[in-house]
Amino acid sequence: MPKGSETTVKECHDCGQSGPEWCSINHGVLLCDECCSVHLSLGRHISQIKSFKRSYWPPNQLNLIYEVSSNGANLVWEYGLLDPQNKVPRKKPSAKDALPVKADFIRTKYQQMAYINRVKDETNGIFEDLHLQLHSIARTDNVVTCLRFLSQGADPNFKNPETGTSSVHVAASRGQQNQIEVK
């Protein structure tokens, strides 16, 4: 982590290796060198990687990563691992596991998004409700909830039929910079 940035997360979110030096910005997770290499192989459209040591971090972006990573972003991506109803229990790799084991887990976690808490019923306007919930949360500083809605398929460009505004517009009008960065 950059000097002066205090964080409660001192290990890789994907394998538990201590001293993460990388970050997946769009997922809000900190990564070790090995897990970072897997994220890079997924492509920028899946995971946007940035180095804590080699990159410049604007204060607002560093603040966002601190906020999201220390307040449960990984719980968004690994919800299904913690769910006792999960029919196919999966074990998270450790720092000592081989790279192919880590790579399989990371692909399943971020590319297939197999462990997120998915909306189970697509009828009765469930997705419209999800879009409206994202629209509503955009006015607050709760970026982890925003990340959860986005992971479930909420569209940040969905326009509220009553106001004609999107969640991005709401976040901007309320000065919620972190919300804008997450979207």
CATH number for position 76: 1.10.220.150
What would the 3-class secondary structure string for 121-164 be?
CCCCCHHHHHHHHHHHHCCCCCHHHHHHHHHCCCCCCCCCCCCC
- 33-68 pLDDT, tens digit per residue, is 999 999 999 999 999 999 999 999 998 888 889 888
- 98-117 pLDDT, tens digit per residue, is 999 999 999 999 999 888 88
Looking at residue 1, what is its pLDDT? 45
Domain CATH number, residue 132: 1.25.40.20
SS3 110: helix
- 36 is a domain residue: yes
- 122-162 pLDDT, tens digit per residue, is 555 566 788 898 888 888 888 888 888 888 888 888 898 89
Helix (H) or strand (E) holding 29: strand 29-31
Instruction: Place 6 in a pLDDT band, splitting at 50, 70 and 90.
Output: very low
Looking at residue 171, what is its pLDDT? 86
- The count of structural domains within the chain is 2
Q: Has residue 3 got a pLDDT over 60?
A: no
Cβ neighbours for 70, distance < 8 A, ≥ 6 positions apart: 7, 8, 9
Q: Has residue 31 got a pLDDT over 90?
A: yes
Q: Quote the domain boundaries for residue 143.
A: 126-182
Task: Give the whole-angstrom CA distance, residue 72 versus residue 182.
Answer: 14
Task: Give the whole-angstrom CA distance, residue 145 versus residue 138.
Answer: 9
Looking at residue 178, what is its pLDDT? 76
- 161 is a domain residue: yes
Task: Give the whole-angstrom CA distance, residue 31 versus residue 53.
Answer: 13
- 74-97 pLDDT, tens digit per residue, is 888 998 887 666 665 578 999 999
- 12 is a domain residue: no
Instruction: Place 9 in a pLDDT band, splitting at 50, 70 and 90.
Output: low
